[in-house]
């Protein structure tokens, strides 16, 4: 029998390239669905029709975009996603299980591209405006050494082709956010097995029902 529906959950998975976050997002989505909960799988960028076009620009730019333009495109995609997917589904009682959110933007564009040094205030104002009052209940960060995790990647995107120094900065950005907000962020060892990670994630999520 499905569990009694309670407050919808908003759960986000974050991590660098090759961290396995998409796998864990999928596993949790499938498990919640099997239990009879109303649940939507969502990812960034590209979860809307216009957002998919933005995604193609971002992933195929080959270094043509400056950091601020890149940031604003990601936020444009997020604005569409919140208005068309996240807010309506949460208001409709659905759980949202999300692959990437604002944490990635601050890690990649903020730390990786260096915007956190020059445009931190603008980044926060824009992102908070886009997300409104909707903050994730939990953000799982799958953390690991980028040099080790990226060996898992078979086909590289423009971000995955960046030098290891960039990915080290991205990792620093993720960890900085997680350590500053231990109420919402949970750091997990991305080198553990898929099943070990999933069960650890499930222990936390099942405690929210």
Domains of the chain with bracketed CATH: 10-206 (3.40.50.300)
The first and second tokens of residue 61, run together, are 């730019």
Instruction: Please give the model's pTM, rounded to 2 decimal places.
Output: 0.92
Give CA–CA dist 66/42, Å, rounded.
27
Cβ-based burial of 164 (10 A; exposed 0-12, middle 13-18, buried ≥19): exposed
* DSSP H/E element including 118: helix 115-118
The first and second tokens of residue 8, run together, are 């919808």
Cβ-based burial of 96 (10 A; exposed 0-12, middle 13-18, buried ≥19): buried
What pLDDT score was predicted for residue 155? 64
What pLDDT score was predicted for residue 160? 62
Q: Contact 5/62 with Cβ under 8 angstroms?
A: no
What pLDDT score was predicted for residue 113? 96
pLDDT, tens digit, for every residue of 71-115?
Answer: 999 999 999 999 999 999 999 999 999 999 999 999 999 999 999
Cβ-based burial of 49 (10 A; exposed 0-12, middle 13-18, buried ≥19): exposed
- What is residue 24's three-state secondary structure? helix
201 Rama class: left (phi>0) / alpha (psi -120 to 50) / beta: alpha
Per-residue pLDDT in tens (0 to 9) along the chain, 209 residues? 344 556 899 999 999 999 999 999 999 999 999 999 999 999 999 999 999 999 999 988 767 899 999 999 999 999 999 999 999 999 999 999 999 999 999 999 999 999 999 999 999 999 999 999 999 999 999 999 999 988 887 666 556 677 899 999 999 999 999 999 999 999 999 999 999 999 999 999 999 88
């Amino acid at each position: 029998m499905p569990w009694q529906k309670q407050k919808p959950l908003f759960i986000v998975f974050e991590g660098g390239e090759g961290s396995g976050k998409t796998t864990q997002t999928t596993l949790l989505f499938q498990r919640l669905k099997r239990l009879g909960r109303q649940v939507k799988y969502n990812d960034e960028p590209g979860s809307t029709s216009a957002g998919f076009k933005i995604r193609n620009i971002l992933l195929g730019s080959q270094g043509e975009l400056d950091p601020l333009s890149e940031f604003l495109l990601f936020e444009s995609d997020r604005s569409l996603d919140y208005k068309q997917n996240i807010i309506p589904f949460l208001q409709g009682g659905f759980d949202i299980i999300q692959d990437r959110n604002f944490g990635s933007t601050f890690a990649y564009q903020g730390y990786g591209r260096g915007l956190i040094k020059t445009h931190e205030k603008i980044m926060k104002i824009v992102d908070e405006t886009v997300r409104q009052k909707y903050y994730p209940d939990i953000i799982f960060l799958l953390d690991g050494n980028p040099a080790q995790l990226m060996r898992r990647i078979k086909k590289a995107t423009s971000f995955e082709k960046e030098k290891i120094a960039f990915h080290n900065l991205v990792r620093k950005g993720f960890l900085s956010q997680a350590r500053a907000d231990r109420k919402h962020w949970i750091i997990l060892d991305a080198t553990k097995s898929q099943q070990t990670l999933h069960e650890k994630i499930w222990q936390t999520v099942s405690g929210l029902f």
